[in-house]
Amino acid sequence: MLTLKHLSKSYVAGTPVLTDVNLDIDARGITAIIGASGTGKSTLIRCINLLVEPTAGEILFEGADLARLSGKALRRARRHIGMVFQEYNLVERLSVMENLLSGRLGYVSAWRAWRRKFPPDDIRRAYELLDVVGLTGFANQRADALSGGQRQRVGIARAVMQEPTLLLADEPTSSLDPKTSVEIMELLTEVGRSRGIPVLVNMHDVELARRFADRIIGMGDGRIVFDGPAAALDDATLTTIYGGKGWLH
Amino acid sequence: MSSPAVAALPADPFRRSPWPRVAMVALVIYVIYACAQLEVSWARVEIGLENAGRFFARLFPPNFSRWELLVKGLQESLQIAVLASTLGIVLALPIGLCAARNLMPSWATWPARFIIVSARSFHPVIVAILFVKAVGFGALAGILALTLASIGFIGKLFTEAIEEISDKEVEAIRATGASFASVLAFGVLPQVFSRFIGFATYQLDSNLRNSTMVGIVGAGGVGGTLFAAFQRFDYDYVCAILISIITLIMIGEVLATGVRAIFIGNATLSDVFRRGGAHRREMHLEDD
């Protein structure tokens, strides 16, 4: 489904953020990427839908190498990759409904988008998704009136509106309190499982990753240093990923 | 790292520069020099005040006997202001968008920036003189001059507003596979719309004021009537014209606030009549 081959990225020539990342995502369920700050987790996620352009390597997704795409072909591919952001990245001044429907922008012509004329099917799905994420009745609230947890629910709903075949989440719980974090992860897991969408998620919180992920990828210094089931993540591997030992206990 | 280090601490915890003081002294010296050069003395001020006293005495009572001419001039000024604002805003939007460096490549921003800077280079009166020479006396010259001024003002502020938007919202919309036009509609415009309404109504306000003035150089509106009255020393009629202009500007202010109230929703019509209304208006212009 998604294969990364020899993916590298350096923002400044000579100082790579990602070095030769190889990764295969095929199974459904949650794959968590963990690692210390600054090890390129965010860059890796953003390279997949080309919000960040990789320096070298291939991103094979649905039979095409995204790294070679541009313009319309890239936008068509992006429609199938939903993304959830750390700071929600909702359009603050638009209503919840408009934010949800913005997930359809890849399918709807600009002319219709400007006039806010979305197909009835999209609107019906948006209302259904509001129920799914527990925001029934919030359709006409402005996004900036919502709490962090509610915003992230809108963020997830917007991504699902795209009818994606892959969901990316970049630290979706890092701006939230522990209780809300668990709720958001439960929602993300549920949405992925019920719709058969694999979810690739960056995480800070090792415990949260252990609890929700089926597979864990550990990154250190721009490389993949661990790749295995959550159960295989022991103290020795954590030391490899994060370095040091003192923080473990 | 205790007692020996303390002794080495600098006495002054701030970095101080002598330059602000040097600049202050230089400014004071220049002000004194300029006064001497222009022969601005207390005696000169006294002569001026005496003259001013006589002038202001002749302004009153205002003379509204030739009100038809006055109303005709005001109508023309109003038309110039509305047409120039509409045309200016319509043209400023695409130009301002093209000039935004965070959205557009440099081959688009440079020409757009050049247009905006050119439109801002001259005072509307100078532009009005140019257009009077080019297209002849009358309202057309005034409309063109104020349109150009509007392009400069709105274009510049619109560009700045776009350049200050949050990239995160744009990034999220791009990630959905939206086309550039759709990114504009959902990621960019919602972030700048209310500020834009603020600029536009402010520009209408400002065009209303300027439209009463371009007439002085023959570009239409009540300014021509005003200038003629000055030259004939009809100071009571001048006073009537000035009072009418103030009234027109106040009506414009009320309308502008109304427009903002409709679009933004955080200012109401009654704000104008409340204390601090003007202050709030400025705040909206800055913050929305």
B84 and B53 co-located in one domain: no
pLDDT reading at A231 higher than 80: yes
Residue B5 located in a structural domain: no
Distance CA B172, CA A102 (A): 9
Whether B22 and B115 map to the same domain: the answer is no
Mark yes or no for CB contact B168/A158 under 8 Å: no
Domain boundary among B42, B59, B76: B59
Nearest CA to B88 out of B123, B48, B44, B119 is that of B119
The domain segmentation of chain A, as residue ranges, is 1-80+166-173+200-243
Let me know whether B187 and B51 are in one domain: no
In the structure, what pLDDT confidence band is assigned to residue A125 with cuts at 50, 70 and 90? Answer: very high
Q: What is the CATH number of the domain that holds B102?
A: 1.10.3720.10
> Which residues in chain B have their CB less than 8 angstroms from residue A166's CB?
none
Same domain, yes or no: B137 and B232 = yes
- Intervals of chain B under pLDDT 70: 1-7, 264-288
Higher pLDDT, A14 or A157: A157
Note whether B176 contacts A: Cβ–Cβ < 8 A: yes
Across the interface, do A89 and B168 touch by the CB < 8 Å criterion? yes
| Contact yes or no for A92 and B185 at CB 8 A | no
Note whether residue B3 is domain-resident: no
pLDDT at A204 over 60: yes
Q: Do A110 and B169 touch (CB under 8 A)?
A: no
Rounded to two decimals, the pTM is: 0.79
Instruction: Give contacts of A78 with chain B, Cβ < 8 Å.
Output: 174-177
Our count of domains for chain B comes to 2
| b/e map B80-118, b = 16+ CB within 10 Å | bbbbbbbbbbebbbebbbbbbeebbeeeebeebbebbee
Cα radius of gyration (chain B): 25
Q: Classify residue B159: in a domain, yes or no.
A: yes
Q: Mean pLDDT throughout A121-136?
A: 92
Residues B99 and B39 in one domain: no
| B97: its two tokens | 């968008």
Q: Is domain A1-80+166-173+200-243 annotated with CATH 1.25.40.90?
A: no
Which pLDDT score, from 0 to 100, does residue A44 have? 92
Nearest to A103 among B171, B176, B181 (CB): B176
Whether chain A has a CB inside 8 Å of the CB on B187: the answer is: yes
- Give the model's pLDDT for residue B162: 93
- CB atoms closer than 10 angstroms to residue A226: 18
Residues B131 and B178 in one domain: yes
- Of A39-48, A184-193, B32-41, B186-195, which gets the smallest average pLDDT? B32-41
Hey, how many other C-beta atoms are within 10 angstroms of the C-beta on A129? Answer: 20
Same-domain status, B23 and B49: yes
Q: Is residue B45 included in any domain, yes or no? A: yes
pLDDT at A169: 94
CB contact under 8 A, A91 and B186: yes
Contact A110 B179 (CB under 8 A): yes
- What residues contact B90, with CB distance under 8 A and at least 6 apart? none
Residues B179 and B37 in one domain: no
Contact with chain A for residue B172, Cβ under 8 A: yes
Contacts of A110 in chain B (CB under 8 A): 179, 181-182, 185
Q: Which of residues 107-126 of A touch B (CB under 8 A)?
A: 107-108, 110, 113-114
Are B199 and B269 part of one and the same domain? yes
Phi and psi at A4, nearest 5°, equal -105, 130
Question: B94 and B49, same structural domain?
Answer: no
Same domain as B135, residue B31? no
Residue of A87, A155, A151, A59 whose CA lies nearest to B176: A155
**For range A231-242, the mean pLDDT:** 84
Is the domain of B138 the same as that of B281? yes
Q: Do A93 and B191 touch (CB under 8 A)?
A: yes
Instruction: Report percent pLDDT > 70 for chain A.
Output: 100
CB nearest to B176's CB, from A72, A94, A102: A102
B193-210 b/e with 16+ CB inside 10 Å = b? ebbbbbbbbbbbbbbbeb
User: Which residue range forms the structural domain that includes residue B28?
Assistant: 10-59
Q: What is the DSSP secondary-structure string of B257-285?
A: HHHHHHHTSS--GGGGGSTTHHHHHHHHH
Q: What is the pLDDT of residue B276?
A: 46
Closest by CA to A149, choosing from A161, A138, A160, A140, is: A138
User: Mutating which of B164, B165, B169 best tests the A interface, going by the most A Cβ atoms within 10 A?
Assistant: B169
Asked if residue B39 belongs to a domain, the reply is yes
